[in-house]
Amino acid sequence: MKLVDISSDVGLRMDVEEDWTIAQEREDLVFYSLEPIIAQIDEYDSIATGLVDSLAANKPLIEAFPGRERAHYWAGMWTNAFYGFTVAMIFLALVTIMLRIRGGV
């Protein structure tokens, strides 16, 4: 908030940022500048947006290299393929062992 002295004798000030109001300066009022707080809120907002975007497969991660938009998608595909192959091999081994025990093969 930026205030301009209009009259020092009467104590009139004008707010030049908000709505250009003219008011008398009083002893019982305290003005705080919210600019540092707004900057922190903007920083937290960008971090929160990045975290929400990291949950989607087609959104870029925070401070990621270009072209990494679908990294989660491909990582999930390869992980699922690996675990699917592993579970299928274990199942196939168990079926083979059971058939050998019964004497079917």
What was the pLDDT predicted at 40? 93
Q: What long-range pairs does 25-34 form, CB within 8 A, spacing at least 24? A: 31/1, 31/3, 33/1, 34/1
Predicted local distance difference test score (pLDDT) of residue 22 = 67
Q: Where are the domains of the chain?
A: 1-32, 34-69, 70-105
Q: Which residues, given as ranges, of the chain have pLDDT below 70?
A: 1, 3-5, 8-10, 20, 22, 24-33, 57-58, 60-63, 104-105
- The model's pTM: 0.43
Query: pLDDT at position 105, please?
Result: 57
